[in-house]
């Protein structure tokens, strides 16, 4: 599970990047969003529970 701020979303490609509190950016795919939908996410939004298994960028 990742915790941080959504830095960038590529909606048409189905992925995004989340920046953790240490400044590291992590890739996530739309299929890793749980308890909601990828379409509901917004850049700049704090997220800590819906994005699972991000990959280090």
Q: Is residue 46's pLDDT more than 70?
A: yes
- Please write the tens of the pLDDT for every residue from 10-32: 999 999 999 988 898 888 899 98
DSSP 13-47: TTEEEEE-TTS-EEEEEGGGB-SS-GGG--TT-EE
Mean of per-residue pLDDT scores for the chain: 85
How many residues make up the chain in this entry? 57
Mean pLDDT, rounded, for 44-53:
76
Give the model's pLDDT for residue 14.
Answer: 96
- pTM (2 d.p.): 0.79
The CATH number covering residue 49 comes to 2.40.50.140
Number of domains in the chain: 1
What is the C-alpha separation between 45 and 43, in angstroms, rounded? 5
* Domain ranges, residue 23: 4-56
Task: Write out the two tokens for 34.
Answer: 């749980």
């Amino acid at each position: 599970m990742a915790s941080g701020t959504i830095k960038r979303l590529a909606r048409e490609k189905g992925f995004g990047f989340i920046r953790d509190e240490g400044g590291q950016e992590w890739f996530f795919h739309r299929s890793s969003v749980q308890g909601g939908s990828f379409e509901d996410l917004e850049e700049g939004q704090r997220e800590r529970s819906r994005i699972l298994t991000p990959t280090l960028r």
